[in-house]
């Protein structure tokens, strides 16, 4: 899985990503913010600094003896940061426990407002239609996938999902850009293509992954920059810390998410379709 967070002590030097998340939100409100919890009478100095900058401090939540978690908000957009027990440092990034488990993703799911399926439908995505019984047949199932055009595991996920398209799956690919300097150029090229050409362009980029792609090279304009920023904000709101970022509905109609490449045996439960055969050698390690 490719992660877009990097741990950084902000009391020493603010990361560009943190500044982007905290001070350059897209302004879209994905869900009603949770009511503010009771806050300590004296905030840690880094949190007070954020408050002085105009951010709302929504709540504090427990993490462990040495770290506290915080939900902070700007213009209705929420994110999670951490402070050390002595209150001297503020940390942004993925928090891992001793076993390597991603605690930040769990905290985002537990403490941030939840976006809806409709928020996904109004995002900026490229549709790969299902291929069962003719291209105009309604899909049997639909999933959303956040991806970076330079993400190798997104490429592998694309390969893994192609047989499921033959079985009736529609995949809606939501581009984000953070892995490499030209990720934005590639995403902008996909988003700016005519709707009836986007899927073919996406397919070509996946088939030629890792090779030079002159047709995926467009300097994003302001509209495309905003589309990518909104997509990234939506990805974060789902608590997805890297690509590929999967979102689907289970049998009960409940939204489910996953960051990273899925094991092939998991795909039937994600797609709601029977297991499909895979013959690609690059996928065999995910059996």
Instruction: Count the domains in the chain.
Output: 2
> So what's the pLDDT on residue 37?
65
Based on the fold, state whether residues 179 and 86 are members of the same structural domain: no
Q: Are 108 and 126 found together in one domain?
A: no
- Mean pLDDT, 10 residues at a time, the chain of 287 residues: 42 35 39 59 95 94 94 85 95 91 88 89 96 80 98 98 97 97 95 96 94 82 95 89 96 94 98 96 96
Among 98, 113, 128, the domain boundary falls at 113
Are 132 and 89 in a shared domain? no
d(CA 169, CA 11): 47
Residue-level pLDDT at 214: 67
> Are 16 and 63 in the same domain?
yes
Out of 61, 85, 113, a domain closes at: 113
Let me know whether 50 and 172 are in one domain.
no
Q: Which secondary-structure segment (H or E) carries 243? A: strand 242-243
For residue 235, what are the domain limits?
118-286
88 and 133 assigned to the same domain: no
Burial class (CB in 10 A: 0-12, 13-18, 19+), 100: exposed
Residue 10 belongs to domain with CATH number: 3.10.450.70
66 and 164, same domain (yes or no)? no
pLDDT the model gives residue 93: 87
Pairs from 70-76 (Cβ < 8 Å, separation ≥ 24): 71/34, 71/111, 71/112, 72/22, 72/47, 73/33, 74/22, 74/23, 74/25, 75/25, 75/27, 75/29, 76/27, 76/28, 76/29, 76/33
Shared-domain flag, residues 273 and 138: yes
pLDDT for 237 equals: 84
The CATH number covering residue 247 comes to 3.40.30.10
The verdict on 253 and 135 lying in the same domain is yes
């Amino acid at each position: 899985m490719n992660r877009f967070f990097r741990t950084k002590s902000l009391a020493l030097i603010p990361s560009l990503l943190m500044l982007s998340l905290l001070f350059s939100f897209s302004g879209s409100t994905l869900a009603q913010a949770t009511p503010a919890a009771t806050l300590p009478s004296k905030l840690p100095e880094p949190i007070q600094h954020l408050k002085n900058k105009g951010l709302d401090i929504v709540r504090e939540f427990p993490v462990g003896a040495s770290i506290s978690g915080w939900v902070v908000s700007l213009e209705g957009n929420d994110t999670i940061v951490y402070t050390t027990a002595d209150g001297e440092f503020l940390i942004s990034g993925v928090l891992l426990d001793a076993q390597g488990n991603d605690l930040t993703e769990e905290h985002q799911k537990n403490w941030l407002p939840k976006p809806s399926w409709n928020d996904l439908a109004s995002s900026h995505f490229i549709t790969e239609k299902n291929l069962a019984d003719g291209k105009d047949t309604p899909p049997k199932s639909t999933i959303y996938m956040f991806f970076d055009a330079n993400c190798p595991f997104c490429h592998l996920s694309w390969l893994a999902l192609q047989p499921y398209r033959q079985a009736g799956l529609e995949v809606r690919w939501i581009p984000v850009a953070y892995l490499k300097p030209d990720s934005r150029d590639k995403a902008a090229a996909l988003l700016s293509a005519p709707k009836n050409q986007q899927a073919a362009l996406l397919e070509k980029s996946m088939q030629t992954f890792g090779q030079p792609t002159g047709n995926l090279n467009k300097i994003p304009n302001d509209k495309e920059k905003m589309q990518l920023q909104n997509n990234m904000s939506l990805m974060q709101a789902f608590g997805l810390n890297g690509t590929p970022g999967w979102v689907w509905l289970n049998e009960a109609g409940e939204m489910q998410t996953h960051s990273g490449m899925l094991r092939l045996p998991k795909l039937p439960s994600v797609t709601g379709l029977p297991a499909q055969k895979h013959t690609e050698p690059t996928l065999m390690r995910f059996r």
